Structure 1
Amino acid sequence: MSDQNKKGLRSEEVSSIQHLWFGHSNLPKDEDFSFAYKVAKCVAAVDGLHEMEAYRLKSRMAAIGAPSHVIEEVEAFDVSSVTAKEMFDLFSKVDVPDMMKAGTAAFIAYEALSVSIGDGELSDKETIELRSSVGILGLSENIFDDLVNVVLEEEAIRKKRIGIISAAYGGSESGDSFRFKHSA
């Protein structure tokens, strides 16, 4: 493997990923990735950080193009003693113009909800904690509710996609999943 391949994604690749997921080609700073996913981890941990939420967190960071060192930093981040104020402080550290704060709050809320559903549900504790934090940053209740609905829809489609792919070779019951461990 060449040194270039070991370094991770190039900026134009991360820009393309941002466009695919969010419709823009901005290149987030490493610290913005870090703050956003630390918040996501805090929200998911409100009702206890399930191992599937931790796995989903890592998966989402990788899928969005976060650098390896950020993924490692977020994984090592101890959420056990983080207060609501400290979580809000993480939100406020994301370096964007004031007019973009609500959009940034929407992105972080979406990622936090997407991680939190990794254990199979969005708990009331998770959504209440997140709703109060993003509301302070100017994200409307309607936008937040729309994000919750999108995450629920995406999770249902994810499960459907996995089921269809798994069924193509007879599913996990067939014993033919020599390298695939499909789980929803």
Structure 2
Amino acid sequence: MTTRAHESGTLDNRNQANREQKRNPEWTGELGREPLPLKGYAALLSIYGTGVTSIFSWAVRNERTLDKVSYADLVVLAMGSQKLARMASKDRVGTLIRQPFTEYDGTDGALPGEASESARRDRGPLVQAIGELLCCPYCTTTWAATAVFGTYLANRKLGRTLAMFLSTVGMADVVQRLYHDVLSHR
């Protein structure tokens, strides 16, 4: 090997090492733990994107888009979406439904009536991605809000009723928590 070719090879190796050091661990799916289930995330994003596109295409075709929305509806829809997400991702009774995708970790650190779970990592990237979605109330809120808002677009009266029901349950949870934290410790 000539000196010039050897130097070029060494330079290529150094450049490769520099690229690996600068690599964004979130983009490559490595965050100091097992790799992220990027293929599973891609499948979920495809499903979600198809659903959102379908809802909004339907709304446009059927002239169900909004000219304006009241702040009261916005608050009730947001509160209802939050409660639906919390129910889907944390309610202890819902553990049975989440079980194919999650592992029950107990109730340590969970609010009363809630479970602590983690995504299954032994059943492939799609199951792991669904498990991570179902364990995260913040992640699940996007899906819940899409369902609640889609219902609102399809039928304002039904959407308001659903959101009002979920908001009522959520506010009752707040009252229960206040009672537990403040009033019961006298």
TM-score normalised by the chain length of structure 2: 0.28
Larger gyration radius, structure 1 or structure 2: 2
Query: Which structure has greater strand proportion?
Result: 2
TM-score normalised by the chain length of structure 1: 0.29
